[in-house]
Amino acid sequence: MSAGVPAELLAERRAAFQERIGEGIAIVPGARLQTRSNDVDYPFRQNSDLLYLCAWPQPEAIAVFSKDRFILFVQPRDPGAETWTGRRPGVEGACERYGADEAHPTAEFQERLPGLLGDVPRLFYSLGAEPRLDPIVREALREVRRHTRGGVRAPNEIVDPYGILHEMRLYKDPAELALMRRAAEISYEGHHEAARLCRSGNTEYEIEAVLDWVFRKRGSTGPAYPSIVGSGDNATILHYTENGDTLREGQLVLIDAGCEYEAYASDITRTYPVDGRFEGIARDVYEIVLRAQADAIEKAGPGVALTEIHDVATRTLVRGLIELGVLEGDAQELMEQENHTRFYMHRTSHWLGMDVHDVGEYHVEGKPRALEPGMVFTIEPGLYFGAEESKCAEKLRGIGVRIEDDLVVTEAGCDVISKNIPKRIDEVEAWMRS
């Protein structure tokens, strides 16, 4: 079992989930192996919802919950298969090590499911989320309905369980926050090594490689998402991951990279000057984005919606675009007309947790959701002037800047858990030399 989340906490999560489904039955499938090419698979990463409830690490698993039973369907022990692909906990391990009240081979799920659905008023299952299971679930429901004359009732309602699960996952407990802080610490080390390599003549892929090396060396499973190392105009591509160019004097390098530690993500972006000095118009753009992030962080806290934080950051960016001569007019009017979206086209924040773009509703009852203690989110304003952008001065073209941090909402405000990675110009320049 993962060393990250104590077994007692996993049991508490399951109990809370079971209480919420009441008299119903919930089916939560795990992830499958995904083919990379021919007979080579991508590295396996478990479905976050199943990890959250029981930390089961193997593919092809299915969890079934009732108000008082937790059943796991898993790959059984198989010495021949394990010789090739590694050890399995098996059916026995599911009960002994992962808290299942009952466990069976995955191959028996289809046969056993009708018996689990009889006299259950509500089925919690996400149709379409795992298409291979949809026909099995539909046939199991038909099978139960065939016995209604004998007094057996079939579920009369199908409800998506993720409304419950994702609401639970939105609020991080102290154990989760400790893991996320550790992820931020490892990412700090990775960014430091990466910043030192931001010199002309080095390559984006060398920087990506040192990030991967630090992440793994410090006990992370690796990046929480494909690392973005964009120099020059590449920094204006929001999800640039080719990481194949050579750094040149006078460029900025946008590095969006965070590790995953015990299934919890960090998500941090810094923008560094090649050869260690911010100069000219690039320095001006950087200072505007830094100011926008500072204003947004100051705004953040309990009771504030992410839309409000976005508005604050955007207003500062728009004023900066006016200073740069890119836009003309009143800042508020320009925001309302969305004239800035050519240069700032994404939102300022997203939830963070087991997934880098984590689960949880952003609106409740049609209104933007207010932040509450235990929520974790990002603040990441940016400005992007593509090399072919005709609506700005030539001197701005090829400059992209984003600054991103991870924040935990507390009773008193917000704690920036990635704050140790420098952002101020003098601190960044000194950090790159150290």
Catalytically annotated residue among 267, 355, 358, 389: 267
Judge whether 125 counts as a catalytic residue: no
Judge whether 39 counts as a catalytic residue: yes
Judge whether 384 counts as a catalytic residue: yes
Judge whether 192 counts as a catalytic residue: no
Catalytically annotated residue among 13, 182, 315, 402: 402
The amino acid at 201: G
Judge whether 411 counts as a catalytic residue: no
Catalytically annotated residue among 188, 286, 350, 389: 350
Catalytically annotated residue among 130, 176, 204, 256: 256
Judge whether 402 counts as a catalytic residue: yes
Judge whether 102 counts as a catalytic residue: no
| Cβ 70 vs Cβ 18: under 8 Å | yes
Judge whether 363 counts as a catalytic residue: no
Give the chain as a 3 state SS string.
CCCCCCHHHHHHHHHHHHHHHCCCEEEEECCCCCEEECCEECCCCCCHHHHHHHCCCCCCCEEEECCCCEEEEECCCCHHHHHHHCCCCHHHHHHHCCCCCEEEEHHHHHHHHHHHHCCCCCEECCCCCCCCCHHHHHHHHHHHHCCHHHCCCCCCCEECCHHHHHHHHHCCCHHHHHHHHHHHHHHHHHHHHHHHCCCCCCEHHHHHHHHHHHHHHCCCCEECCCCEEEEHHHHHCCCCCCCCCECCCCCEEEEECCEEECCEECCCEEEEEHHHCCCHHHHHHHHHHHHHHHHHHHHCCCCCEHHHHHHHHHHHHHHHHHHCCCCCCCHHHHHHHCHHHHCCCCCCCCECCCCCCCCCCCEECCEECECCCCCEEEECCEEEECCCCCCCCHHHCCEEEECEEEEEECCCCEEECCCCCCCCHHHHHHHHHC
Catalytically annotated residue among 138, 248, 357, 424: 357
Judge whether 264 counts as a catalytic residue: no
Give the C-alpha distances (Å, rounded to integers) separating 234 from 230, 237, 251, 280, 402: 5, 6, 10, 19, 12
Q: Give the orientation angle of helix 204-217 with respect to helix 174-196, to 10 degrees.
A: 140
Catalytically annotated residue among 346, 347, 369, 397: 346
The amino acid at 27: I
Catalytically annotated residue among 261, 384, 389, 405: 384
Token readout for 296 is 């947004």
> Per-residue b/e over 116-143, b at no fewer than 16 CB within 10 Å?
bbbebebbbbbeeebeebeebbeebbeb
> Which residues does the annotation mark as catalytic?
39, 239, 256, 267, 346, 350, 357, 380, 384, 402, 404
